[in-house]
Amino acid sequence: MTDAAIGDHLLNKTATVTTPKWEPDGQGGDLETLMIHPTDPTIAIRYYAASARDLIVAARDDEQIQYIAYIRPTAKIVRDDRLFMDDKRFDVVAALKPSKAHHIKLQLAEVHGVYLVAQTKAGFTIHTKDDDGNLTALEVKN
């Protein structure tokens, strides 16, 4: 199966992919840091609002999703990876592989507050705003 199996012309967006790493914070909790995805730092993707049927399927597993996306079958994207595109952050809720491997279907949950993703030489910077309007920047390095 080749990368073109899904139809590259349909994959009209590019997403920056990160994977979370959890470490103890020294106070009984965990601290999440994001790292550039080890095998797929960027992917071609197509996403759209989830249909009623997709929402029903996700609800069976008690998952909250808003979007569905399609990517090439060679991508190594898994649950909890983070996608950044169109100045938004999406968490991968599930990566579903069909019986014929010409694509991977992703269930995505949008995380609000991200308003800019900027590429840098060392990786990229994610600029966010909290509910009070405070600005923060998170650097993600290669």
Residue 112: φ, ψ to 5°: -80, 160
Is CATH 3.40.50.2300 correct for 3-111?
Answer: no
Backbone Cα Rg of the chain: 16
Q: Which pLDDT value is given to residue 81? A: 93
Tell me the per-residue pLDDT of 15-53, one tens digit each, with 9 for 90 and over: 989 888 877 777 777 777 778 888 888 899 999 999 998
Compute the distance between CA of residue 109 and CA of residue 41 in angstroms, rounded to an integer.
19
Compute the distance between CA of residue 129 and CA of residue 23 in angstroms, rounded to an integer.
24
Decide: 35 and 140 in contact? Cβ < 8 Å. Answer: yes
Tell me the per-residue pLDDT of 110-121, one tens digit each, with 9 for 90 and over: 987 766 676 677
Give how far Cα 55 sits from Cα of 19, 69, 90, 98, 141, Å: 25, 13, 16, 18, 34
Tell me the per-residue pLDDT of 62-97, one tens digit each, with 9 for 90 and over: 888 999 999 998 899 999 999 988 878 899 999 988
Q: Which pLDDT value is given to residue 137? A: 72
Q: Which pLDDT value is given to residue 6? A: 58
All structural domains of the chain with their residue ranges: 3-111
Pairing of strands 13-24, 42-49: antiparallel
User: What is the average pLDDT across 2-24?
Assistant: 76
- How many residues would you count in the chain? 142
Q: Which of 3-12, 50-59, 116-125 has the highest mean pLDDT?
A: 50-59
